[in-house]
């Protein structure tokens, strides 16, 4: 099953955070905004969000400190 347009955008933002090993508050807000923009979190988006959450929990991706 192909990703929706919002799912593809979500994947790109999440992949950037994974590559950087850091997620900024702005990126996190963008991720939440993208996932909720159509009022529905589809299974692909849910899987991406779950993967990111697991990586944050395991400290593979860390939140950037606020300035």
Q: What is the pLDDT of residues 17-42, one digit of tens each?
A: 889 999 999 999 999 999 888 888 88
Helix H or strand E segment including 62: strand 62-63
Burial of 12 (0-12, 13-18, 19+ CB in 10 A): exposed
Mean pLDDT of all residues in the chain?
88
Give the pLDDT confidence score for residue 37 in this predicted structure.
Answer: 87
């Amino acid at each position: 099953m192909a990703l929706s347009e919002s799912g593809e955008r979500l994947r790109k933002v999440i992949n950037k955070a994974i590559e950087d090993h850091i997620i900024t508050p702005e990126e996190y807000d963008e991720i939440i905004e993208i996932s909720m923009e159509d009022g529905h979190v589809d299974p692909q988006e849910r899987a991406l969000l779950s993967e990111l959450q697991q990586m944050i929990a395991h400290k593979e991706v860390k939140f950037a400190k606020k300035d």
